[in-house]
Amino acid sequence: MTYHPKSDFIATMIERGFLADCTDYQGLDDALIDGCKPAYIGFDATAKSLHVGSLIQIMMLRWFQKTGHKPITLMGGGTTKVGDPSFRSDERPLLGPEQIDANIAGIKKVFSAYIDYDTDAENAALMLNNEEWLDGLNYLDFLRDIGRHFSVNRMLAFESVKSRLDREQSLSFLEFNYMILQAYDFLELNRRYGCVLQMGGSDQWGNIVNGIDLTRRVLDHEIYGLTTPLLTTSDGKKMGKSQDGAVWLNAEMRSPYEFWQFWRNTTDADVGRFLKLYTELPVDECDRMGALAGSEINEAKIRLANEVTTLLHGAAAAATAEATAREVFEKGGVGGDLPTLTLSVDELGEGMSIVQIIVKSGLAKSGKEAKRLISENGAKLDDAPLTDAGLMIDAGALSSPIKLSAGKKRHALVQLG
């Protein structure tokens, strides 16, 4: 990237590694030095929480506001009813209105930790929902006024669609409409709020370009698109996934300790990059810590975990998570903030197998996986090797909490409730 920006936002994005591509660096840069400008990112409501894979977008909106501009978080109450086909091999399951509303309620909880919606300043953030303008569309009017601006030939050429068709996988007419609806979002946000920029992951490039083209055709306004790289870890894993599933941002779906632990387990090669993307530490400090080796890199990983957890869950949650981790890993203790499974006397009955308990605690996804964990000497009970897959646990055994471990890094408490 050889472009030398004048605006604080573009400079920050380049310096910290956020940028994959932009439709017009010079034009966007000039627009951003000409006062406060609105920009948006859309979030479809496919689950009750976003996961770590969305955190790069949230941090981008945070930096946009910190550099003096107005972020818009757009909830996809309307587009979720269709489903984004971008780079998917199959159609998303369709969700009903009640589930979509419940998912939006869950997703909204996270944003206020990163973005200020309550300030009286010019750059106070907006939280909007695209069902506001999509739900009331008249189909024939929409086809005539908006559909005529789209070339099917061009839409088929976008890589996100082309890759699906090249594999001879079905693309429904419903899904094909998604990119038109997302383009219409940009048009409406520009018309209603003067929004000049849409941001998103690089998988959204085709959708973003469509929105820019539509807005220019209908309103003759100059607007821009900017994308982030689709992040993978240095070992090739998709960002936001872990050994035990998605790393959710909502505390009720992923405890602050488990969230902290995810970042603490970052591979050495990713530390510097993740510090720049997911914290606000100075870039020089991120580079310095990322270059550490041996035991020193572990302290950098703790700093990463603390900084990221503090932004989402607060400083107290980060401090408690670190204290628990040190108790568990360095002192061999139990650690009161570990994920906890509480079993009743009725549930236990005359005894519950340790395999069932491992699954219930979330340390394994199935009984088969739990048995394999035990047979391969990967399971521990109170820090001692667990070798008997037939072990039964009754209420007496839980007179005090027990600690289960899967490998060196995943732990859970089991207690009687």
Which residues line the annotated binding site for ATP?
241
The annotation places the binding site for L-tyrosine at: 40, 178, 182
The annotation places the binding site at: 40, 178, 182, 241
> H or E element: which one contains 256?
helix 256-264
- What DSSP assignment string belongs to 51-107? BGGGHHHHHHHHHHHHTT-EEEEEEETTGGGT---TT-SSPPPP--HHHHHHHHHHH
C-beta separation of 100 from 152 below 8 A: no
Q: Which residue in the block uniquely carries the two structure tokens 């969230």?
A: 259
Picking from 227, 231, 211, 207, the residue whose alpha carbon sits closest to that of residue 159 is: 207
- Write the burial class of residue 110 (CB in 10 Å: 0-12 exposed, 13-18 middle, 19+ buried): buried
Picking from 115, 36, 101, the residue whose alpha carbon sits closest to that of residue 73 is: 115
DSSP letter at 238 equals B
What 3-state DSSP class applies to 226? strand
- What DSSP assignment string belongs to 269-327? GGHHHHHHHH--S-HHHHHHHHT--THHHHHHHHHHHHHHHHHHH-HHHHHHHHHHHHH
Beta-carbon contacts of 101 under 8 Å, excluding residues fewer than 6 positions away, are 77
What 3-state DSSP class applies to 177? coil
> H or E element: which one contains 393?
strand 392-393
Cα–Cα distance measured from residue 353 to residue 89, given in angstroms and rounded to the nearest whole number:
39
